[in-house]
Amino acid sequence: MHSTTSWIPIPLYAQVLVAVLCGATLGILFGQEPYLGGLRNEQLGQLGLWVVWMLKTLAIPLIFFAILDALLRTSIPLSQGTKLLVICLVNVSVAMAIGLAIMNLWQPGLAWLGHVDELLHLVPGSTLSSSALANVQAGSQSPIEYLASYIPRTLTNPFSSNNIIGVVLLALLLGGTLRYLHGQLDQTGGFVAVVARGIERIYGWLVQLLEWIILAVPLAVFGVVAHVVGKSGVGVFSVLWIFLVAMLAGLVIHSLLYYPLVAWLVGKKSPKTYLGQGADAIMTAVSCNSSLATVPVTLRCLERMQVSAQSARLAACVGTNLNNDGITLYEAMAALFLAQALGYDLPMAKQVLIVLASIIAGAGVAGIPEAGLIVLPLVLAAAGLPDQVILAAIPLIMTVDWIIARARSGVNVMSDMLVAILLDVDKTTPAKESHAEARR
């Protein structure tokens, strides 16, 4: 027998909105006073920080096994793979240039100066001040020494120190070796095939574990908001609007100016075609907050644009690990924003390192739920921010991240479509038509 009713899950953004409202109400009503048998809002805030710790702890192994799994399972022809890689690198480089320009010319993070102490007070036992935090930078290191510090000294060091660049280097080296051995020993199966299946299974377990932790994000937001409002009042959230505007500005400029312009000038698709025919995919990504779940709609939109099926599938299915301009742009801008809020004087070499960490993180977690939020602690650590600041800032960012996350998903889908169009520019129209006929 089948049930006559079906359970419809409440979207994560709606859960976060409800959590913000309930947490703020609790903070206003009780402040720092005890209620319900001695429970305090401060204790709820501590529970919220535990969720952030779990996300941060899971991120490193998740990225490591995601890269191993992708290297072992993905198969792309060399010529097409090279072209795909070049296009993605150009797109993300432009995104990073836009982000760096906004953060260095506007410097929106300076609006948070003087509010950092309020953030730090969210962490029980924290004694750091904003003036002390400004001195933790490795300002005496040269750019080469600073970059060299991220090269792993031992196999376990990157995992214990949350060194995302070191973890990715190890994953690429190990994954490349396993792929080579897998190809050499494919006829006999053997140990390498068993290892490949084990990596795939572990990665699946980690993704499932992540989905369970994501379920607790609204509870984390509820607890932290109750604590913040109970201690500092509702006015503490008045500083969040500048963060939201800065992040959305970078995403909007990149997606609504750069993408349509390149699709028109290089891909020969007018903005009306690119945005008009692709609107279904863009709006689906924004509404469901997932570029991966939008792939079927993206393929249908690309077919309307008369992009060949081969290019569409390569960009939207295989290349989805690389087409993450929305995530990488957000990660880099958020890290620079918080660095400015602390009064950090980041030279361009360190900003480039943050950009590199953002690109690596974005590529490593493609297709993972709430990917931008999960790798943000690692990118912030690459920027040199102390754990106390990361733990204090991320729960506040969560309150507006649901808006930015939807924009990120829309940008990622627009990136998929642009890459497909650019992959298709050297294909003749008759070839496309004959391919479409064969597909029918």
Instruction: List the beta strands (DSSP E) in 124-280.
Output: none
Is residue 289 a part of any domain in this protein? Answer: yes
The phi, psi pair for 35, rounded to 5°, reads -155, 165
pTM of the model: 0.73
Say if 3 falls within a structural domain.
no
Confidence category of residue 108, pLDDT binned at 50, 70, 90:
very high
Distance CA 39, CA 30 (A): 10
User: Does any domain span residue 247?
Assistant: yes
321 within a domain of the structure (yes/no): yes
Please tell me the predicted confidence (pLDDT) of residue 131.
46
Kindly state the helix (H) or strand (E) to which residue 167 belongs, with its residue range. Answer: helix 164-184
Q: Is the pLDDT of residue 133 over 70?
A: no
Report percent pLDDT > 90 for the chain: 20
CATH of the domain at 109: 1.10.3860
- Structural domain including 280 reads 12-439
Distances (CA, A) of 259 to 47, 278, 397: 42, 12, 27
Give the whole-angstrom CA distance, residue 139 versus residue 144: 13
Residue 2 lies in a domain: no
The token duo for 381 is 């650590």
Backbone φ and ψ for 349, nearest 5 degrees, come out as: -60, -40
Confirm whether 194 is domain-assigned.
Answer: yes
Tokens 């060194």 correspond to what residue?
163
**Upper half-sphere CA count for residue 228 (Cβ side, 13 Å):** 32
pLDDT in tens, 220-247: 778 877 877 777 666 666 777 899 999 9
| pLDDT tens readout for residues 342-380 | 887 778 888 888 888 888 777 656 555 566 777 788 788
Q: Which residue has the higher pLDDT, 175 or 254?
A: 254
Banded model confidence at residue 13, pLDDT cuts 50, 70, 90:
low
Q: Do 312 and 420 meet the contact criterion of CB atoms below 8 Å apart?
A: yes
First to last CA, the chain: 39
* Burial 356-374, CB ≥16 within 10 A → b, else e: bbbbbbbbbbbbbbbbbbb
d(CA 198, CA 180): 17
- The values of phi and psi at residue 256, to 5°, are -100, -10
Looking up tokens 């994501």 gives: 214
32 within some domain:
yes
For 20-45, give the DSSP string: HHHHHHHHHHHTTS-BTTTB-HHHHH
pLDDT band at 31, cuts 50/70/90?
Answer: confident
Task: Answer whether residue 323 is part of any domain.
Answer: yes
Count of structural domains within the chain: 1
Query: How far apart (Å, rounded) are the C-alpha atoms in residues 356 and 238?
Result: 31
**Packing angle, helices 279-288 and 387-423, rounded to 10:** 160
Amino acid 198 reads: G
Please give the average per-residue pLDDT across 375-399, as a whole number. Answer: 77
The predicted-structure confidence for 243-296, as pLDDT tens digits, reads as follows 999 999 999 999 999 999 999 999 999 999 999 999 988 988 886 677 777 888
pLDDT level of residue 181 (50, 70, 90 thresholds): confident
Distance CA 293, CA 412 (A): 12
